């Protein structure tokens, strides 16, 4: 997951993506070395030059990876602004009594390693190459978790979604879907064929005949009888001229133009094609049932829960070995799940059934959504333990009314998060004492 701008990245990126450069850091790359001094003080807590340098370099790497223009001076300014805002938020969390225990930090650290496809030892080695100690990294994780929790408490409570907003959102979504899936049409057709080498006199005579047939159809004469008596279409006797209910894109464009404004029962003006003259009658219009659709995923997993007898690192290693055995065909996923998975889905071979978006914890769902059907993920750490996930199928399914309203509420909440966060952090910033320091001469 990448964010659309530096400020959004600074505000909302989750802990698992705290250090996007970790996965791409080159072995042996030199850590940042620069003179250290205090560049700002936030409510008596200092921010140092090295902190600004390190974050600005990370921002530049992230910007380049997204194809954004890079400017070192601007990156340093943004880095300092971000560090000030982070410091204020951590201070706010502390003042509210919000705390993060060691278990949460251990889980977050394992999540960063897993999302960058590294072991904990490999992660720490990469961090050391980048000049970040293990203790310093854990302090960063603690700060990120504190900020996440204070945002959940302070920002999300500011967001209000009304029933009127939900209704308007759903109406607009249904209108967009109706535009994507227009009504199907059943047209009746009478063909007055024109020979390929017809003379102008023959064409005029056949045209007059077609106009007479169209006039009779408009006067209410039975269309099937007119088809039987006049139509030259080869299948006229099989379906009484009806072409069948079908979407507009399965009719010739000249037919659609002729009947576009006609009601059911209406008869078109003559349509001329290479085959001859066509008399068209709108027999039926049927709108597709309009309902919001969602992408459902069917997955299965093996879950190992770390314990005094099984560390998280051991669980990751065990599931990595099992993954290799599954991919090589030496073992069967369902058999492994039934035998060792510590989850209620084990008797079903790990099958979790069809799931709508939002049914699983974010770290699990994000990994699952990146898989194609039949693809097996690397072991993943979540708050419940270590998972081995395989997606078995994916489909589009209609949402129930409750699911539609919940979907609308979530989308509206997401759309208001940035505004609510900006308002909240601006308020915090206005109440904080921030002193900027000049570099030493």
| Position 111 confidence tier, pLDDT thresholds 50, 70, 90 | confident
More confident residue, 3 or 15: 15
**253 and 352 fall within a common domain:** no
Q: Looking at the domain assignment, is residue 298 inside a domain?
A: yes
pLDDT of residue 288: 65
- Give the per-residue SS3 of the chain: CCCCCHHHHHHHCCHHHCCCCCCCCCCCCCCCCCCCCEEEEECCEEEEHHHHHHHHHHHHHHHHHCCCCCCHHHHHHHHHHHHHHHHHHHHHHHHCCCCCCHHHHHHHHHHHHHHCCCCHHHHHHHHHHCCCCHHHHHHHHHHHHHHHHHHHHHCHHHCCCCHHHHHHHHHHHHHHHHHHCCCEEEEEEEEEECCCCCCHHHHHHHHHHHHHHHHHHHCCCCHHHHHHHHCCCCCHHHHCCECCCECHHHCCHHHHHHHCCCCCCCECCCEEECCEEEEEEEEEEECCCCCCEEEEEEEEEEEECCECCECHHHHHHHHHHHHHHHHHCCCCHHHHHHHHCCCCCHHHCCEEEEECCCCCCHHHHHHHHCCCCCCECCCEEECCEEEEEEEEEEEEEECCHHHHHHHHHHHHHHHHHHHHHHHHHHHHHHHCCEEECCCCC
Percent of the chain with pLDDT over 70: 90
Q: Looking at the domain assignment, is residue 415 inside a domain?
A: no
CATH (domain of 324): 3.10.50.40
**327 and 269 fall within a common domain:** no
Q: Looking at the domain assignment, is residue 219 inside a domain?
A: yes
- Residue pLDDT, tens place only, 48-88: 998 899 889 888 988 888 888 778 888 899 999 999 999 99
Question: Rounded to a whole number, what is the distance in angstroms from the first to the last CA of the chain?
Answer: 42
Q: Looking at the domain assignment, is residue 427 inside a domain?
A: no
**120 and 222 fall within a common domain:** no
Q: Looking at the domain assignment, is residue 233 inside a domain?
A: yes
Q: What angle do CA 212, 215, 220 make, to 5 degrees?
A: 130
More confident residue, 185 or 440: 185
pLDDT of residue 264: 93
More confident residue, 248 or 91: 91
Task: For the full predicted model, state whether its pTM sits above 0.75.
Answer: no
| Position 24 confidence tier, pLDDT thresholds 50, 70, 90 | very low
**11 and 147 fall within a common domain:** yes
Q: Are 387 and 380 in contact (CB under 8 A)?
A: yes
**107 and 221 fall within a common domain:** no
Q: Which of 286, 309, 342 is the last residue of a domain?
A: 286
Tell whether the model's pLDDT for residue 25 goes beyond 50.
Answer: no
- Residue pLDDT, tens place only, 143-185: 999 998 998 888 888 888 999 999 999 998 888 877 766 778 9
Q: Which of 154, 174, 195 is the last residue of a domain?
A: 154
**339 and 379 fall within a common domain:** yes
Find the Cα–Cα–Cα–Cα dihedral 29, 30, 32, 34, rounded to 10°: -160
pLDDT of residue 300: 97
In sequence order, the β-bridge partners of residue 246 are 185
Q: Which of 286, 307, 330 is the last residue of a domain?
A: 286
How far is it, in rounded angstroms, from Cα 377 to Cα 371?
7
**279 and 319 fall within a common domain:** no
pLDDT of residue 8: 30
Which residue segment(s) compose the domain that 120 sits in? 6-154
- Residue pLDDT, tens place only, 377-405: 999 888 888 999 999 999 988 888 888 89
Q: Looking at the domain assignment, is residue 85 inside a domain?
A: yes
**124 and 216 fall within a common domain:** no
Count: domains in the chain:
3
**193 and 302 fall within a common domain:** no
Over residues 201-207, mean pLDDT = 93
More confident residue, 1 or 368: 368
**139 and 35 fall within a common domain:** yes
Q: What angle do CA 418, 92, 361 make, to 5 degrees?
A: 55
**280 and 309 fall within a common domain:** no
**57 and 135 fall within a common domain:** yes
pLDDT of residue 306: 87
CA nearest 23: which of 387, 368, 378?
378
Tell whether the model's pLDDT for residue 18 goes beyond 70.
Answer: no
pLDDT of residue 289: 62
Q: Is 408 left (phi over 0), alpha (psi -120 to 50) or beta?
A: alpha
Q: Looking at the domain assignment, is residue 164 inside a domain?
A: no
Tell whether the model's pLDDT for residue 27 goes beyond 50.
Answer: no
Q: Looking at the domain assignment, is residue 439 inside a domain?
A: no
pLDDT of residue 194: 93
**Whole-number average pLDDT of the chain:** 85
């Amino acid at each position: 997951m990448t964010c659309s701008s530096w400020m959004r990245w600074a505000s909302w990126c989750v802990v698992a993506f705290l250090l996007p450069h970790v996965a791409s850091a080159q072995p042996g790359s030199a850590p940042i070395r620069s003179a250290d001094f205090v560049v700002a003080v936030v409510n008596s807590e200092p921010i140092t030059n090295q902190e600004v340098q390190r974050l600005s370099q990370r921002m530049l790497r992230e910007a380049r990876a997204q194809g954004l223009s890079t400017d070192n001076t601007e990156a340093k300014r943004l880095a300092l602004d971000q560090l000030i805002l982070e410091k204020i938020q951590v201070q706010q969390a502390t003042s509210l009594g919000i705390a993060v225990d060691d278990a949460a930090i251990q889980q977050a650290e394992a999540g960063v390693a897993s999302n960058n496809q590294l072991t904990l030892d490999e992660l720490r080695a990469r961090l050391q190459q980048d000049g970040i100690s293990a203790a310093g990294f854990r302090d960063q994780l603690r700060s990120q978790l504190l900020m996440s929790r204070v945002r959940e408490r302070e920002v999300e409570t500011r967001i209000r979604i009304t029933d009127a907003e939900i209704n308007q959102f759903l109406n607009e979504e249904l209108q967009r879907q109706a535009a994507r899936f227009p009504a199907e049409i059943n047209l009746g057709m009478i063909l007055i064929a024109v020979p390929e080498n017809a003379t102008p006199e023959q064409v005029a005579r056949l045209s007059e005949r077609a106009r007479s047939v169209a006039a009779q159809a408009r006067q209410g004469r039975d269309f099937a009888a007119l088809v039987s008596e006049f139509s030259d279409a080869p299948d006229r006797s099989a379906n009484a001229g009806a072409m069948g209910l079908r979407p507009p894109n399965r009719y010739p464009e000249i037919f659609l133009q002729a009947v576009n404004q006609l009601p059911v029962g209406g008869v078109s003006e003559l349509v001329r094609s290479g085959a001859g003259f066509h008399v068209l009658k709108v027999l039926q219009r049927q709108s597709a049932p309009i309902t919001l659709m969602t992408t459902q995923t069917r997955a299965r997993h093996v879950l190992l829960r770390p314990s005094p007898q099984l560390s998280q690192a051991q669980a990751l290693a065990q599931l990595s070995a099992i993954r290799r055995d599954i991919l090589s065909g030496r073992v069967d996923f369902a058999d492994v799940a039934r035998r060792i998975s510590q989850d209620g889905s084990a008797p079903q071979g790990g099958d979790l059934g069809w799931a709508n978006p939002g049914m699983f914890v974010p770290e699990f769902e994000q990994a699952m959504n990146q898989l194609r059907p039949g693809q097996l993920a690397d072991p993943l750490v979540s708050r419940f333990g270590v998972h081995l996930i395989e997606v078995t199928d994916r489909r589009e399914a209609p949402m129930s009314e409750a699911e539609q309203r919940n979907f609308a509420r979530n989308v509206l909440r997401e759309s208001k998060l940035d505004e609510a966060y900006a308002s909240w952090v601006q308020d915090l910033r206005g109440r904080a004492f921030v002193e900027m320091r000049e570099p030493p001469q």
